[in-house]
Amino acid sequence: MPDACPGKGFAGDTYPRRAMADRLPPEVLSNQKRGLQAADWFERLTSVRGRLPAELDLWKCDLARRALDLQRMRRLVEHWPEGGSDTDSVVYEYNCILKRGLMVGRFLRWFEDDSVMPA
């Protein structure tokens, strides 16, 4: 291995943990939990909830009709959870299915019709 390449111990999170060993308490160093990037995703999605039906108007986009479960996505918007995103099923349905589906739908609509640019 060339000298400029970091060694095996650099891979993963072992290097940062070793570097911080004398600065952080053991319970922090031994914590294996992972955080969620953009943890406020549900609040942000809720704030634009009124615009989601228009975003789901993808029936005329052939690629979106074939690639996405538009009926399921529409049902999710119509039956918004009152309790927030505290359950695994809400995270899966609304973060994975709905939010990602909206992004894919926007891209497919743009791809199919170059006059429709994502905002």
pLDDT tens readout for residues 29-74: 888 887 778 889 999 999 999 999 999 988 788 899 999 999 999 9
Query: What does pLDDT average to over the chain?
Result: 85
Q: What's residue 33's pLDDT? A: 82
The band of 116, judged by pLDDT with boundaries at 50, 70 and 90, is low
Which ranges in the chain belong to alpha helices (H)? 14-19, 26-29, 41-47, 52-55, 62-67, 70-78, 88-90, 100-112
| Predicted structure pTM score | 0.68
Place of tokens 């690629």: 63
Residue 101: how many CB atoms within 10 A of its CB? 21
**101 in Cβ contact with 56 (< 8 Å):** no
Q: At what angle do helices 100-112 and 70-78 cross, to 10 degrees?
A: 130
For residues 12-48, one letter each, b for 16 or more C-beta atoms within 10 angstroms of the residue's C-beta and e for the rest, the string is eeeeeeeeeeeeeeeeeeeeeeeeeeeeeebeebbee
